[in-house]
Structure 1
Amino acid sequence: MLQIENLEKEFIMHIRGDAEIEGFDCISFSAKAGTLIAVTGPSGSGKSSLLKCIYRTYTPTGGHTYYTCEDGNVVDLAVAEPWEIIRLRATEIGYVSQFFSVIPRVSAIDILTNTQTARGIPSKSARERAAEYLEKVGISPQLWDMYPATFSGGEKQRLNIANALITRPRLLLLDEPTASLDARSKEWVMNMILDLKQEGAAMVGVFHDEIAIETLADWRYEMRERQMVPIDYKMDYAQEELAAFA
């Protein structure tokens, strides 16, 4: 579903005399339907930048990001027109950021409802499903009509994850989804991710949580010196992909 070929990113700091900062170089891997690729490594090694290049928050410096759409068409996200990126984000690609950001003064249940109605789901059905997902991630019904600005960090992250999963994306990018969650919340979130995997979604996630990696990941890479190196695997097909790096 996702094929990354020789992806690279460099940052030009115009406010610092056009200084160049190296992000990553020659990243290649694939993500198949129903699997999760875990990306690990130290802070500052380029993990989040990689996700942002796939999602096209950042424009890659070079390389290709081939995504096979639901209709069978293949789109190179690295060079796709902005309107096409917006369309795919609205219909097929989801992203869970480390940081929670929504329009102020919109209630939690309205956030999840609006995400669905924007994709053509009737308002009544969208609101019912929003309530279902808020319950799934353990947000108290007393908070459903409250503004998320009043939520704790863990509650915001659970709402963030519910908002990304509620549309059942075919490709999901996860940036440390369990980082600020307690043990019970982690269990809820990991079960929801596993459910989406079983439906056939392909996922790429940045993780530091070893329990989450062991539970969710089919393939594991580590960012080392601007490269992404395969260090572990579970699926049979992984032997073939590992041989490609030999």
Structure 2
Amino acid sequence: MPRLLSLSIFDRAVYTRALFSAVVLLVSITTQAGTFTNVSTTLTAPATSTGSHTVSFKTEAYGTHYLQEKKNSGSWVNRASYVTGTSNPYPVITRNVSRSGLAAATYSYRVKFVPGASSPLGTAAMYSNTKTVFVSIAPGVPASISAPSTDNNGAFTVSWGSASGTITSYKLQQQLNSGSWGQVYSGTSRSKAISGLGNGTYKYRVKACNSAGCSGYRTAGNTTVVTHPPGVPPVITITEL
């Protein structure tokens, strides 16, 4: 660095102006570069989902931000990208990326950041922390349900078809004479032995459930009419007079 005292007044002014410009340029570049570390603490996603959710993060560094998604143990895939310019300073912007129609699986998310050209942050890609979302989908409606049209002893079997998706239980309901519905079975079997019914008209419906919720009901297309035969007449004793 030259000694200012040995320079003329004109040279001192030129040197001072150049030094000031260099400092301003350095501050400008540093400000434009921003920081990527904040993305690690602002990346958010729900822990669980039924197939539709939003992943959020912030951008405030000069370069390109990619939101990446990985299904189970698969490969990372870019789902959104944002190019941030060199404005001084660069504003902090919250990015919200909506994901929908996802199948049941475990999804991981992270932000990949690639610094812009001539960025003081270098050229190597940087990555945020990772957030994991467990997606669980309610099962489909059971394929069918069947029950006899008539019965004469109040004992028969109701059976139903399987439902798509992950099933933790089937729930069977019964209705008597168009009254209210009541649950008569909950479990993983696809049939239920019914017994002890009195005379009346019965109807059945079933749904499939898991941790994400339950499907709609599949209702039998027919009713079951239970009619017990008349009992044995009492013994009549005739006494001659």
Give the shorter-chain TM-score range. Answer: under 0.3
More helix by share: 1
Q: TM-score of the superposition, structure 1-length normalised?
A: 0.21
More strand by share: 2
